[in-house]
Amino acid sequence: MESKQNNKLGIKIKALRQKAKLSQDELARKSDVAYTTLTKIETGVIKSPSVFVVEKIAKALGTSIEDLI
C-alpha cells in the first residue's frame, strides 16, 4: 500500500497514457523522455523526477503538471 501512495505521479501518468491509448514507447517518443525514464517513473523506481521531465510528459498527454502531481 505504501508504494502506491509514494507513486501517485506514476499511477496518474500510466492512467492518462492508457486513456490516450499510447504505449510507453509512444509516450516516451512524443514527450522526448527516455523510455527507461518513463517506465521507471510509472513503476515508482524514480519517485521524484525533475520538473522538466514531468512538464514534457504532461504536455505530451495534453494536461498540466498540476493535474499530475
Phi, psi of 50 (to 5 degrees): -65, 155
The residues spanned by each domain of the chain are: 2-68
| Among 67, 61, 17, 68, residue whose Cα is nearest residue 39 | 17
Architecture of domain 2-68: Orthogonal Bundle (1.10)
The DSSP letter of residue 32 is T
Q: Is the pTM of this model over 0.75?
A: yes
Which ranges in the chain belong to alpha helices (H)? 2-6, 8-19, 24-31, 35-43, 51-61, 65-68
Give me the helix-helix angle, 51-61 and 8-19, nearest 10°: 20
Mean pLDDT for the stretch of residues 1-7? 56
pLDDT single digits (tens) 13-69: 999 999 999 999 999 999 999 999 999 999 999 999 999 999 999 999 999 999 988
